[in-house]
C-alpha cells in the first residue's frame, strides 16, 4: 500500500539513502503535511486508540489525588504555581485532575495556572473546548521550555512512548544502526547501516547478543527528561510519568504501529498509523538521579491506582447507579488496573520524581 508520506520517504531515500528509524518515526508522527498527529485527532473512540483517561474519569481523578498529595507534601506553595501536562490528548485527564483539585485543594486551584504542551492544532482546539470552564487559567505551549518558571506539578501520560527512538541491529560485523530503505519494488523495508557505532551507546551484555538482536536507545526522550529534571531542580515540584514500558533495561524490538484500532506492521501505513515504542523507565530514573532529582519510585499502573484508592472511588461513583452503569465502572477498573490482554495494569508503568525529595504515597508509606 502507498500513502502520501510513503512517496515523500521514497524521494528522501532516493536523494540521500536510507533514513534512520528516528527520522522515520518523526516523519510518521510529526511531518507538517502528512504526520499522524498533524492531520487528525487520534484519541478517543473515534481515533485509533483509547488512552486511560478516555476509559474512565477514575484515571484522571487518581492522578489528581496524587498531585494534590504531592503539593501538600511540598508544604503547599502558592507563588508561581504551575499545573502542567505534556501531550494532553483531548484534555480529558486535565479536566478530571482539575475537578479533583477544585474539590480537595481549592487553594491549589486558585493559586495555580494551567499549562498544556501541545503542538497539534487539531488537539489544541479539542483541549480548549474540554477545558473551557477554566478560562484564562489555561495556556498552551509548543515546548516544555515555554512553561513559565515556578513550582511545577506535571503529569505525562502516554507521552514518552511517542518520542522517536534509535534502533541498532546485531549483524555478523557487529551492531549497526537500523535504517529504513526502499527495495527494488518500491516497498519500504529495514536495512542495516554500513558504519559501526560507539559501543558506549549499547547496554551491558551486548557483546554476547546473537545476530538479529535489536537494541533501542532514545536520545530525544533523554533530552526531555533532562530538561524536566533541571526544571524541577530549579523551581521545585513533582512530575508523574505514566506509559507503556518496562522497569529494567534490556534488548528487543518494541517499535509498533496501531492502524484502525489494530496492531499493524510499522512500515505499512506511514502517516496513517500511530507509532510508539516501549519506554525504558530505568533510563528515565537514572537521568533524574544524575540531575540531582529524587526518584520517589517506580511501579505498575495497576498497583499505583489501587493503592491510591481506585476501588473505593469506583464504589462511590457506582453508588446508586443502575446495573449497566455499575458494570461499566467495574469493566473500566479491570481495564485500568487488571493484568492480561487488553488490560493496562501491568503493561503500563509509573515513575514519580521530585525536588526537593519528599515521601509520596503510594511509593512511600
- Tens of pLDDT along 155-202? 999 999 999 999 999 999 999 999 999 999 999 999 999 888 888 888
Domain count of the fold of the chain: 1
362 lies in a domain? no
Instruction: Tell me what pLDDT residue 155 has.
Output: 98
Q: Are 111 and 82 in contact (CB under 8 A)?
A: no
In this prediction, the residues of the chain whose per-residue pLDDT falls under 70 are: 1, 40-49, 365
Cα distance between residue 284 and residue 313, in whole Å = 30
SS3 90: coil
Cα distance between residue 188 and residue 18, in whole Å = 10
**Cα distance between the two ends of the chain:** 54
Instruction: Tell me what pLDDT residue 3 has.
Output: 83
Cα distance between residue 312 and residue 331, in whole Å = 15
Q: Are 62 and 309 in contact (CB under 8 A)?
A: yes
Q: Are 190 and 212 in contact (CB under 8 A)?
A: no
Instruction: Tell me what pLDDT residue 49 has.
Output: 60
283: exposed, middle or buried (Cβ count in 10 Å: 0-12, 13-18, 19+): middle
Instruction: Tell me what pLDDT residue 199 has.
Output: 85
233 lies in a domain? yes
Q: Are 87 and 158 in contact (CB under 8 A)?
A: yes
299 lies in a domain? yes
Residue 95 backbone dihedrals phi, psi, to 5 degrees: -60, -40
32 lies in a domain? no
Copy the grid coordinates of residue 253: 524490538
Instruction: Tell me what pLDDT residue 260 has.
Output: 84
Helix H segments across 91-181? 92-104, 106-111, 121-130
Q: Are 336 and 309 in contact (CB under 8 A)?
A: no
Cα distance between residue 31 and residue 11, in whole Å = 14
Provide the CATH number for the domain around residue 108: 3.40.50.150
Helix H segments across the chain? 4-16, 21-30, 36-39, 52-55, 57-73, 92-104, 106-111, 121-130, 219-235, 281-290, 301-308, 310-318, 323-337
198 lies in a domain? no
Q: Give the tens place of pLDDT for each residue, 280-331.
A: 999 999 999 999 999 999 999 999 999 999 999 999 999 999 999 999 999 9
Instruction: Tell me what pLDDT residue 271 has.
Output: 93
- The residue assigned the cell 481549592 is 106
Instruction: Tell me what pLDDT residue 43 has.
Output: 56
Instruction: Tell me what pLDDT residue 84 has.
Output: 98
In degrees, to the nearest 5, what angle opens at C-alpha 279 toward C-alphas 278 and 283?
140
The enclosing H or E element of 139 equals strand 138-141
Host domain of residue 115? 38-164+218-261+273-355
101 lies in a domain? yes
Amino acid at each position: 500500500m502507498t500513502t502520501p508520506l510513503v512517496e515523500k520517504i521514497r524521494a528522501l531515500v532516493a536523494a540521500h539513502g536510507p533514513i534512520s528509524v528516528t527520522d522515520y518515526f518523526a516523519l510518521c508522527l510529526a511531518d507538517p503535511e502528512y504526520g499522524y498527529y498533524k492531520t487528525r485527532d487520534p484519541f478517543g473512540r473515534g481515533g485509533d486508540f483509547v488512552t486511560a483517561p478516555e476509559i474512565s474519569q477514575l484515571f484522571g481523578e487518581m492522578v489528581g489525588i496524587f498531585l494534590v498529595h504531592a503539593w501538600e507534601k511540598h508544604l503547599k506553595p502558592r507563588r508561581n504555581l504551575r499545573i502542567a501536562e505534556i501531550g494532553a490528548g483531548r484534555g480529558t485527564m486535565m479536566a478530571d485532575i482539575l475537578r479533583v483539585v477544585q474539590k480537595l485543594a481549592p487553594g491549589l486551584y486558585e493559586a495555580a495556572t494551567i499549562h498544556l504542551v501541545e503542538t497539534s492544532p487539531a488537539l489544541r482546539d479539542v483541549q480548549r473546548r474540554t477545558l473551557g470552564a477554566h478560562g484564562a487559567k489555561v495556556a498552551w505551549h509548543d515546548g516544555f521550555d515555554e512553561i513559565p518558571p515556578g513550582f511545577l506539578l506535571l503529569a505525562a501520560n502516554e507521552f514518552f512512548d511517542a518520542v522517536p527512538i534509535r534502533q541498532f541491529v546485531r549483524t555478523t560485523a557487529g551492531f549497526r544502526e537500523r535504517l529504513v530503505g526502499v527495495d527494488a519494488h518500491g516497498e519500504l523495508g529495514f536495512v542495516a547501516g554500513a558504519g559501526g557505532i560507539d559501543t558506549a551507546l549499547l547496554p551491558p551484555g551486548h557483546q554476547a547478543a546473537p545476530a538479529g538482536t535489536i537494541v533501542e536507545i532514545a536520545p530525544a526522550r533523554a533530552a526531555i527528561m533532562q530538561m524536566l529534571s533541571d526544571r524541577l531542580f530549579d523551581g521545585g515540584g513533582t512530575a508523574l510519568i505514566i506509559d507503556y514500558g518496562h522497569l529494567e533495561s534490556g534488548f528487543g524490538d518494541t517499535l509498533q504501529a496501531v492502524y484502525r484500532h489494530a496492531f499493524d506492521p510499522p512500515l505499512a501505513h506511514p502517516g496513517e498509523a500511530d507509532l510508539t515504542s516501549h519506554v525504558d523507565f530505568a533510563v528515565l530514573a537514572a537521568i533524574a538521579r544524575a540531575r540531582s532529582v529524587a526518584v520517589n519510585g517506580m511501579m505498575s499502573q495497576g498497583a499505583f491506582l489501587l493503592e491510591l484508592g481506585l476501588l473505593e472511588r469506583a464504589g462511590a461513583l457506582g453508588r446508586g447507579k443502575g446495573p449497566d452503569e455499575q458494570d461499566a465502572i467495574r469493566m473500566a477498573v479491570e481495564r485500568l488496573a487488571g493484568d492480561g490482554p487488553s488490560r493496562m495494569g501491568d503493561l503500563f508503568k509509573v515513575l514519580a520524581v521530585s525536588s526537593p525529595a519528599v515521601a509520596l504515597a503510594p511509593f512511600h508509606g
